[in-house]
Structure 1
Amino acid sequence: MNKAERQKLIRDFITNHEVEQQIEIVNMLAERGQQVTQATISRDIKDMQLLKIPDSLGGMKYSLPLERHLNVDEKLQRALNTSLNRLRRHNEFLYLETVPGSASALATLIMQKRYSEVFGKSTDDDSILLICNSSEAAKQLEEIFKFLIKK
């Protein structure tokens, strides 16, 4: 099971159940034959931007992020303008340095856009490495980001 499939199961699970702890997600996946660690679930929760909200029993449960009235384009533009510190291109790579703690959310928005130029990504706390399909694709995506930053 890949990350996208696992996160879809997590999304479905928290939508249909009041999930208070990460171990409940680990156990749910184990029941489906998928052995994952709590650390993996923690990364998924961060990547999916899940929230903790009050549940029906007075405790706290995981929830999907509240949808704002902004579309993905507007969210991406805002995120680039508020969290991007530096953008560099080298051959087919784009390297985005961000404010600490914001790279995962920015990378999620970039991947939601499904840019045809992007082959894959690697993210940590304060940087994103986008692997593009070619040097030309990296240049085109760099121009898109620069345009969004100037808006």
Structure 2
Amino acid sequence: MNKPARQLRIREIIQQEHVENQHDLLRLLKEKGVKVAQATLSRDCAELGIIRSKTHAGYRLLFAEEHSGRIIKGLVGMEVVSVAANETSVIVRTLPGRAHGVGSWLDQFHSPLILGTIAGDDTVLVIPDSVENISALISYIHKNLSTN
């Protein structure tokens, strides 16, 4: 099997299975008919940005960008103090000086629920696309900013 096809199989396995280490990955590849040496697998993992990380379910091989996204989400979530709404808008209160980062984090998702955000020092005004979507927007914010 050529390198691109092998790396595609590795990606598929990492995304679909709970793989704790390279030994398990090597075994799963063999089960799928992919013959590869440990040294080659190690190089493939490095090229694909696969890391071993501790999760709530134990150790797992992950793509580095997936791992860093979880870390950033956790950090941004710790900056949020509260989320409140009225009939027309949502307010996210943050630690002092953190509103801009939280607003930028929300903006990066390009959610159709969010028309825009305006950040001050410790407050982010989140303007919904429609007042009918306020509760959905609050749930969305909790999902994307909460450390829970």
TM norm structure 2: 0.49
- Mark the structure with the bigger radius of gyration: 2
Q: TM-score, normalised by structure 1?
A: 0.48
